Amino acid sequence: MSKKSCCHGPGYATPLDAMKNGPREKLLYTVTVQPNLDEPHGDYLSTVDVDPESPTYCQIVHRNFTNRKGDELHHSGWNACSSCYYVDEKAETVPKRNRLVLPALNSDFIYILDVATDPRKPEIIKTIDGDVLKSHNVTGPHTTHCLANGNIMISVMGDAGGYAKGDFILFDSDFNCIGTWTKGDKKALCGYDFWYQPYFDVMVSSEWGAPNKWRRGWRPSDLEDMTQYGCRLNFYKWSTQTLYQTIDLGADGITPLEIRFLHDPKRAEGFVGCALNAKVFHFKKKPDSDEFEAKKVIDIPGKLVDTGSGEAEDMGGMISDIIISLDDRFLYVNCWRHGDVRQYDITDCENPKLTGQLFLGGAICSDLPNVIVKEDKELKERPPARYVKGRRLEGGPQMMQLSLDGKRLYVSSSLYSPWDKQFYPEMVSKGGHIVQIDVDTVNGGISLNEDFLVDFKDEPYGPGLPHEMRYPGGDCTSDIWLADQE
């Protein structure tokens, strides 16, 4: 950023500015998947009213359908965020946060939505065909982040044939494709999520696996070829767009998914949640070096469970999301299979302290007749099923979004529809949900808001599956802050 700043763009000057001065959220843009692949309206963006003073509180007030089968909308991102806050006095235009970007995991299409004309009723204004990505030999678009120069970058997980490939695809501010981002001969084996910190000239990315593997569901045999499934963190030089370090996390680190630097842009450290075996690694920059090191700091043990086959299996928690409060004090971790959300105090990042835990469904509830937990290193008894407003919560806690002030945590239930069908068919048939957790930001601790439920059971074209959630003004996972580099 330049000290010659004429005005400011979208977002907030600092993470603490957002936390202290940001407004309470009133709308929740929620990616919603249609599990019935024969339904022609397809997936959609749900606009959920979360303003407790509104007559339509907890209701879906608008749905924007892609009108295309088989997309599998998943994550979303902005054309501009807090990384565009400071505007140089010589700039010809001031960035605006007015476009929401929705990549589709299965079709490789990308949908661009206008959220400024009527924030309660976003509308698709541009569709980027999946062949655009394939023409650059990439598929499986996932995370979207805006860049300070006005471009938009999306991580990808596969090549045109669906085999594993870690890279990124760039678009300009008008959503014309520029090409892939990584330069040089060295490429990541797999891709997934990413976060950048220009102050330290670094970007980090995580790994899931090859699209032709995860698109058909989970198979333990997929791990026989770890070039096609992820277990690594990849570090890039931001200025040269080159991969310079890869850290193999080993068996504990299989499927490192959501990855976050701390929000403070002058702290070169962060966390990644490793899904399969439910571990969280802390990574940090080595003193007087550009290289990073990673250390396992949260180890959630698997549970020895018989799910009706007569044979016990080690059921990992499947951490599918993590989120950090804007003051970098609390880390939230979910276990989609075990069914719990956890809050950790990360004042000491290398020694997280568990300060809250809440069960919201999962695969080991005490009312599931065919489930036998033979060994549990944490629980003395199985958690009961969770009901909100008379509705049994099917599935487990999946994507999370934290209010700017850190006092409310929203939790959805759908991971990815082929995996939903494999692990939680009841949720698919009955529809997913969003619940709200109240957070004690002073002492730590979390509790369920029993009066909040967004139910996706009775949707216009059948039960829906809610995944990622965004606020119109930015949030803890969409916005990246840049340090003053003067």
* Contacts of 100 by beta carbon, 8 Å cutoff, 6+ apart: 29, 45, 76, 77, 78, 79, 112, 113, 115, 122, 470
Where are the strands (E) in 286-339, listed by range? Answer: 292-299, 303-306, 313-315, 322-324, 330-335
Check pLDDT > 90 for residue 463: yes
What's the whole-number mean pLDDT along residues 188-207? Answer: 97
Q: What pLDDT score does 3 carry?
A: 43
* Contacts of 8 by beta carbon, 8 Å cutoff, 6+ apart: 85, 86, 87, 94
Tokens of 195: 């976060």
**Could you count the other beta carbons within 10 Å of the beta carbon of residue 422?**
15
Pairing of strands 256-261, 269-274: antiparallel
Query: What are the pLDDT digits (tens) for 143-161?
Result: 999 998 889 999 999 999 9
Check pLDDT > 50 for residue 60: yes
Pairing of strands 152-158, 139-146: antiparallel
Question: What sign does the CA torsion over 157, 160, 164, 168 have?
Answer: negative
Lowest-pLDDT range of 227-236, 333-342, 402-411, 471-480: 471-480
- Whole-number Å distance between alpha carbons of 343 and 359: 12
Percent residues over pLDDT 90 in the chain: 88
Query: What are the pLDDT digits (tens) for 344-358?
Result: 999 999 999 999 999
Check pLDDT > 50 for residue 1: no
Which residues does residue 293 pair with via DSSP β-bridges, in sequence order? 284
What's the whole-number mean pLDDT along residues 248-273? Answer: 97
Confidence of residue 450 (pLDDT cuts 50, 70, 90): very high
Burial class (CB in 10 A: 0-12, 13-18, 19+), 38: exposed
**Could you tell me the domains of the chain?**
20-470 (2.130.10.10)
- Whole-number Å distance between alpha carbons of 473 and 78: 10
Percent residues over pLDDT 70 in the chain: 97
Asked if 352 and 346 touch (Cβ cutoff 8 Å), the reply is yes
Asked if 170 and 180 touch (Cβ cutoff 8 Å), the reply is yes
- Whole-number Å distance between alpha carbons of 415 and 336: 8
What's the whole-number mean pLDDT along residues 110-136? Answer: 98
Tokens of 299: 């180890």
**Could you count the other beta carbons within 10 Å of the beta carbon of residue 17?**
16
Q: What DSSP assignment string belongs to 437-459?
A: EEE-TTT--EEE-TT--EE-TT-
* Contacts of 213 by beta carbon, 8 Å cutoff, 6+ apart: 164, 219, 222, 228, 229
Check pLDDT > 90 for residue 461: yes
Tokens of 125: 């204004």
Asked if 281 and 272 touch (Cβ cutoff 8 Å), the reply is yes
How big is the CA angle at 72 (ends 132 and 208), to the nearest 5 degrees?
A: 85
Q: DSSP label at 436? A: E
Question: What sign does the CA torsion over 365, 58, 110, 83 have?
Answer: negative
φ/ψ region of 32 (left if φ > 0, alpha if ψ in -120 to 50, else beta) reads beta
Asked if 343 and 444 touch (Cβ cutoff 8 Å), the reply is yes
- Whole-number Å distance between alpha carbons of 205 and 320: 15
Report which of 154, 181, 167 is spatially closest to residue 79, judged by C-alpha positions: 154
Asked if 326 and 17 touch (Cβ cutoff 8 Å), the reply is no
**Could you count the other beta carbons within 10 Å of the beta carbon of residue 57?**
15
What's the whole-number mean pLDDT along residues 333-341? Answer: 98
